[in-house]
Structure 1
């Protein structure tokens, strides 16, 4: 089982790397925003938001369409007739998203720290935990999108409709303090806001438990919903 998972994870990662659109938005787009805000005094506080953006693009934009495509093309159903369980492929997709998120985030962090003198994370362990929980939460939401979308194109659309409000109102693309009060209040209810907060707390060295609990709770809830709603064909 572990060998199959590893092989499928490598395959999924290669497929993600060949998707130029996903690759651009997970790596180049956050770096472009970083460069545009280079002169800002609070640029160091923006970097954790860009990490959250990388993860959101993978979990909300890329993952739902990929999983829905596998279902639409009967890939998951065919896997059920082999020794490899279909859930192994879904787990491999999560693994691939995590690796791609690590690579994209590492590049953005390297550019910020080495290229623009941003202070490195003050609490790496808390940052790593926030990263894993944020990635898990976004993938879980992505599976819910794939579960309710009738076909792959619809999953892509649903993912984008959910992703953009998340990153722009949740503090990933722009600081929430810069938003109008009404939008800031709406953003407070979005789960990615907790992800940005947890990542920023880890980066600045002031980790708190509440954002991490929110991330874990949303992950568990969305995983349960996706398990109930997901159809294999």
Structure 2
């Protein structure tokens, strides 16, 4: 545990040396939330959404988008760059196990993204009058599973990609379909039955619904949590299986 914490602290320091990665991982989502909330139509009740203001549905969506950007545009290229620059090869001569290194990356990413989520919830509440989550334990459970699943996917991309540039390209290709089924362009409430079924099987779709349920005061549904857990187990296991030092 002490080795994990020390390595996590080191990884955090290295992370903040990459300003572009820091911007997309931590700053882009709060800025996106401010932009969306500044649109008058987003703050007005929508009859097509049952009288709910669109911004209320979009706060969980932007939270999920922020985590996915951290995972696919931040964590994956950064970790792949370690291999490309020989950092992992040098670490191979130390007692550090791959699982400890992967764990440190996950712990660092989860802690930093959690801080960003707090900022977005505060912005949504103070700037646009969006209610804070009414079911806090359910919201935390949904967020932790969502973050863990997406970071596991990001680490899998990093494990498979031969370079940081290819990791960024793969991450971008993965991000857009995930964002669509997460409701960025078309809210889940407006999806057809087929699209909604597909969305429920994706990490962003299941994660967004879990966060929306908890925000409304309901416990996240077990099928959605199960989907997130499944993505975590499968992607995390494959990331560890295909981990390469060089």
Distance 2:153 2:18 in 1: 21
The 5 A counterparts of 1:188-199 are 188-199=200-211
Q: TM-score, normalised by structure 1?
A: 0.88
CA distance, structure 2, for counterparts of residue 86 and residue 221 of structure 1: 17
Look up the SS of the partner of 1:37 in the other structure: helix
Q: CA deviation at 1:50?
A: 1.1
Counterpart-to-counterpart distance in 2, 1:65 and 1:111: 29
Report Cα offsets for 1:174-230 as digits up to 9, x if no partner: 523456888666545432211111111121122211100000011111122222222
C-alpha separation between the residues in 1 aligned to 2:221 and 2:68?
22
Partner of 2:170: 158
CA-CA distance at 1:31 after TM superposition: 2.6
Q: CA RMSD in A?
A: 2.3
Residue 135 (1) aligns with residue 147 (2):
yes
Alpha carbons 2:200, 2:224 under 8 Å: kept = no
**Matching of residues 1-233 of structure 1 within 5 Å:** 2-38=1-37, 39=40, 40=42, 41-172=53-184, 175-177=187-189, 187-206=199-218, 207-233=220-246
Whether contact under 8 Å (2:139, 2:210) holds in the other structure is: yes
Mark the runs of 5 or more structure 2 residues left unpaired by the alignment.
Answer: 43-52
Deviations 1:75-124 (CA, angstroms, capped at 9, x unpaired): 22322322333432221111111111111111111111122221110101
Distance between the aligned counterparts of 2:61 and 2:14, measured in 1? 26
Show structure 1 runs of 5+ residues with no match: none
Any conservation in 2 of the 1:68–1:151 contact (CA below 8 Å)?
yes
How many residue pairs match? The answer is: 232
Normalising by the residue count of structure 2, what TM-score does the alignment of the two structures yield?
0.84
